[in-house]
Amino acid sequence: MRRTVTRLFSLILLFSSAAAVEAQHGSIAEAPFSTPRDVAAGKQSFRSQCAACHGLDGSGGAVAPSLVSGTFKHGGSDEALFTVITKGVPGTAMTGFALDGREVWQLIAFLRSLNVARSAAKAPGDAAKGAQVYQANGCARCHTNGSGSGGFDGPDLSEIGARRTLAQIEQSIVDPDADVDAAYWSVRAEMKSGQTVNGIRMNEDMDSIQIREPGGRLRTLMKADLTRFEIVRTSPMPSFKDKISGADLQNLVAYLAGLGAAAREAENK
């Protein structure tokens, strides 16, 4: 008996929420503001409201996901995006924003224009040949590519194509110092004993620095034990400007842009 009553109650809930969704459909079925001028206005709003967490180019930050992949964790429909922007995502740092309807739609139009997935398809290179370039240049010594092997010293590239534009990928190969994620900044320090220490900076507070030394040892340096230290914001990765160029570069970019395509498609379903 108790079960029957519960079911009846759930059915009522189901019907009433379905009705609510239908009503929403009637009012906000499609993005009404999506002209180039709306995209430009959306970009302005994005810079003032969203970029602090999602990055100026929407490629994500320490607390917020990338918005350039064309897929969205909490739903990719216009309606879902509208809800996330206006209501936020409970349990995350994403709060709701008090924008008027037009501003929200312009933001959505801008987000649509960021879609990397579309630009990845436009990559001029040959991804299969790019995979050979990846192998020949030893990229796997420091990077993983989703194949189950590779090193952990550099960023995971398994889904890089879903997070970075073609231009960003190319820039990271020829000029790794141009944009270094803070998770890959280094520390160079000298101890009072005269010993020099260096490693990837993993964490820091007023008294200590946590680093990963070459070879993988985790170590905490107390600032009181140091005579000096500096945070190096350049990349430990060498530039491949002189080693990979022309068609090889285009092929490698195409290969990397394709990484994560499977995950992207799965998310889209």
Partner 1 sequence: MRTLLVSLILAGAAAAQNWTTYNGTAQSTHYSGLDQIKTSNVAGLELRWVSQADSLEKFEATPLVIDGVMYVTEPPNTAVALDTRTGRPYWRYERPVPPGNYVCCGNVNRGLAVQGDTIFMGTLDAYLVALDRATGRKKWETKVAEYSHGYSITVAPLVVKDKVILGPAGGERGISGFLAAYDTRTGKEVWKFHTIPQPGEPGHETWSGDSWKTGGGSTWVTGSYDPELNLVYWGIGNPGPDWNPAARPGDNLYTDSVVALDADTGKLKWHYQFTPHDEWDFDAVQVPVLVDLNWRGKQRKAMLWGNRNGFFYVLDRSSGEFLLGKPFVKQTWSKGLDDSGRPMKISGTSPSIAGTDLYPGVQGGTNWYAPSFSPRTGLFYLTAWENYHTSYYSWDQEYEPGKSFTGGSARGPIPSLRREPIIRWGPEWGYGVIRAINPLNGEKVWEYKMLDVSDAGILTTAGDLLFSGNREGYFFALDAKTGKELWKRYLGMQVADSPITYTVDGVQYVTVAAGHALFSFALGPGR
**Residues of this chain that bind partner 1 (CB under 8 A):** 144, 148, 152-153, 156, 202-203, 205, 207-208, 210, 212, 216-220, 222
Complex with partner 1: residue 205 or 242, whichever CB lies closer: 205
> On the CB side of 97, how many CA atoms lie within 13 Å of its CA?
19
CB of 204 to partner 1, least distance (A): 9
Three-state DSSP class for residue 224: helix
Residue ranges with strand state E in the chain:
186-191, 196-204, 208-212, 218-222, 226-232
Could you give the CA distance from residue 127 to residue 188 in angstroms, rounded to a whole number? Answer: 38
- Least gap, CB of 159 to partner 1 (angstroms): 12
Q: Work out the burial of residue 99: count CB atoms within 10 Å of its CB; fewer than 13 is exposed, 13-18 middle, 19 or more buried.
A: middle
Distance in Å, CB of 144 to partner 1, minimum: 7
**Is 219 or 241 the residue whose CB approaches partner 1 more closely?**
219
Sheet hosting strand 226-232, strand order edge to edge: 218-222, 208-212, 196-204, 186-191, 226-232
Name the minimum Å distance from CB 150 to partner 1.
10
Least Å distance between CB 196 and partner 1? 20
Q: Which is nearer to partner 1, 148 or 238 (CB)?
A: 148
Q: Who contacts 116 (Cβ-Cβ below 8 Å, separation ≥6)?
A: 68, 69, 70, 161, 162, 163, 164, 165, 257
Tell me the closest approach of the beta carbon of residue 218 to partner 1, in angstroms.
Answer: 5
Q: Minimum Å distance from CB 102 to partner 1?
A: 33
3-state secondary structure of 225: helix
CA dihedral 264, 26, 94, 259 (to 10 degrees): 10
Nearer to partner 1, 115 or 146 (CB): 146
Nearer to partner 1, 133 or 211 (CB): 211
| 156 versus 181: smaller Cβ distance to partner 1 | 156
CA distance 153 to 141: 8
Q: Which is nearer to partner 1, 8 or 183 (CB)?
A: 183
Q: Are 204 and 190 in contact (CB under 8 A)?
A: no
SS3 166: helix
Question: Are 127 and 258 a contacting pair, CB within 8 Å?
Answer: yes
Query: In terms of CB distance, is 25 or 73 closer to partner 1?
Result: 73
Smallest gap from Cβ 197 to partner 1, in A, equals 15
